[in-house]
Amino acid sequence: MNLYNKNILRSLLSWMLASQALSAHNVDLIRDEALIPFYAELNQIVETEAGTLAKGERVVVIRPEGRESVRVEAPRKGIITLPVEVTNLTAEIERAKNADASDLKQVPRMALFLANRVVSGESLWQHVIPADVIYSCERWVMLYGDASTEATKSAVVAASKYYEGLSLAEQKTTMFVFLDVFGNKSAIQELANSVQPKIHTMPGYLSKGYAKSLDHIEADSELPQLVEVAPSGRILSRANGLEVIIASLDQGLDYK
């Protein structure tokens, strides 16, 4: 290879490395959270607290955990936090940015978790809410608790009062869901019959499963727990314990 070709190759490699560095530097998962895909693929072998993840392994993206990291669920391994650079997310986000608008259908990540799984308050937690209703929501509030306890019962009552106080337009775009962390089907139904809830829920086995997989609960804090998240699943605010939850609801979930 002559000197001229070597210089061209050297310049090309320098340009590629600079482009990659610039792309990594420009990563902002909060800014681009609406474009984060449901799945990510690892671009290298990664050692984690849950074990070794192989290059090419696919993980479910639960939410952005910051501007440069994501909370993911690796099948049969568990839930972990990964830096964005070990995944293909940067490339997938850039692909979405450059896609024709007619080919890009953005669905809130939370809707992908909840669609066809949530039953309505107005049906006393019996009838599934249509998926298109969930896809159209803009606010996402999750209440976690033990349906058999008085504290959770009081939290559901307070949450229902808050939800009922919203305008009809706000109710249509707010998905407020109670999840029983133990998936106690009979306790959930008894709670519905006793308090006539306005907020929604998931059936027992789904409540238990998604209470774990959505990864919102702080294990060392008391139940009930209230979490508001962005459409991407990113945690915006939380309130742990009945007194704090009631105070937050009384303030209109205004965390500013």
Q: How do residues 142-191 score in pLDDT, each as one tens digit?
A: 999 999 999 999 999 999 999 999 999 999 999 999 999 999 999 999 99
pLDDT average, residue stretch 124-148: 97
Q: How high is the pLDDT of residue 18?
A: 43
pLDDT digits 0-9 by tens, 20-76: 444 445 789 999 999 999 999 999 999 999 999 999 999 999 999 999 999 999 999
Whole-number percent of the chain with pLDDT over 70 = 87
With 0.75 as the threshold, say if the pTM is over it: yes
Domain final residue pick, 87, 103, 119: 103
The answer to whether residues 141 and 148 touch, using CB atoms and an 8 Å cutoff, is: no
- Model confidence at 17, pLDDT cuts 50, 70, 90, reads very low
| Residue 4 reports pLDDT greater than 50 | no
Lowest mean pLDDT among 10-14, 142-146, 149-153, 246-250: 10-14
Is residue 123 in a domain? Answer: yes
Q: What is the pLDDT of residue 14?
A: 47
- Residue at 255 is within a domain: no
Mean predicted confidence (pLDDT) in 187-214: 96
Cβ atoms of 228 and 253 closer than 8 Å: yes
Residue type at 191 in one-letter notation: L
Q: In terms of pLDDT, which residue wins out, 153 or 9?
A: 153
- pLDDT of res. 99: 80
Q: How many domains does the chain have?
A: 2
Instruction: Indicate the length of the chain as a whole number.
Output: 256
Q: Phi and psi (nearest 5°) for 14? A: -65, -40
Q: Residue 205 and residue 164: Cα distance in Å, rounded?
A: 27
117 has a pLDDT exceeding 50 = yes
Domain at 81, CATH number: 2.30.30.40
The pLDDT value given to residue 253: 85
Residue 3 pLDDT > 50: no
Q: Domain of 164: which CATH number? A: 3.40.30.10
Q: Is the pLDDT of residue 86 over 60?
A: yes
Would you state the pLDDT for residue 16?
A: 46
Q: Domain residues for 151?
A: 109-250
Structure tokens at 249: 């609801």
143 and 221 together in one domain: yes
Inter-residue contact 235 to 227 (CB < 8 Å): yes
Clarify whether residues 203 and 84 are in a common domain: no
Residue-wise pLDDT tens digits, 99-111 = 876 566 678 999 9
Mark 88-122 as b/e (b = at least 16 C-beta within 10 Å).
bbbebbeebeeeeeeeeeeebbbbebbbebbbbbe
Q: Please say whether the beta carbons of 15 and 23 come within 8 A.
A: no
Average pLDDT value for residue range 108-115: 95
